[in-house]
Amino acid sequence: MIERKHTRDRMSQIVINGDTIYLAGQVGEGETVADQTHDCLATIDGLLAEAGSDREHILQAVIWLADMGDFDAMNAVWDKWIPLGHAPARACGESRLAAPRYRVEITVIAARA
């Protein structure tokens, strides 16, 4: 059975199929990519908790940066957030995001805890 949470006409923020959790791409607020990454990851923490998981159970993360020049600053926040020994499969690339104010967007797939 597929379960959807925070569903609107275009998308759901959480989709659960069996023991696999899919999150929509998340963005954050703030002036710097570090601020936005921190805010985005806090939102991901909340969505994972709501779905019965946590950051130790992330299977895959895809990160889009508006500018790859922000790679090190984003990673400084990411590296403190992801638990040691629980790094997921990950990809990171540069892309134009939904609005010019956004500098980072992250989506994750996780297993139930």
Digitized pLDDT (tens) for each residue of the chain, 113 residues in all: 999 999 999 999 999 999 999 999 999 999 999 999 999 999 999 999 999 999 999 999 999 999 999 999 999 999 999 999 999 999 999 999 999 999 999 999 999 99
Q: How far apart are CA 108 and CA 113, in angstroms?
A: 14
Q: Which CATH number applies to 2-111?
A: 3.30.1330.40
For residue 40, the model assigns a pLDDT of: 98
Residue with tokens 């899919």: 22
Query: Contact 109/25 with Cβ under 8 angstroms?
Result: no
pTM confidence score = 0.96
Query: Contact 102/66 with Cβ under 8 angstroms?
Result: yes
For residue 14, the model assigns a pLDDT of: 98
Residue 5: closest CA among 57, 55, 46: 46
For residue 104, the model assigns a pLDDT of: 98
Q: How far apart are CA 59 and CA 70, in angstroms?
A: 24
For residue 107, the model assigns a pLDDT of: 98
Crossing angle of helices 33-50 and 71-81, rounded to 10°: 40
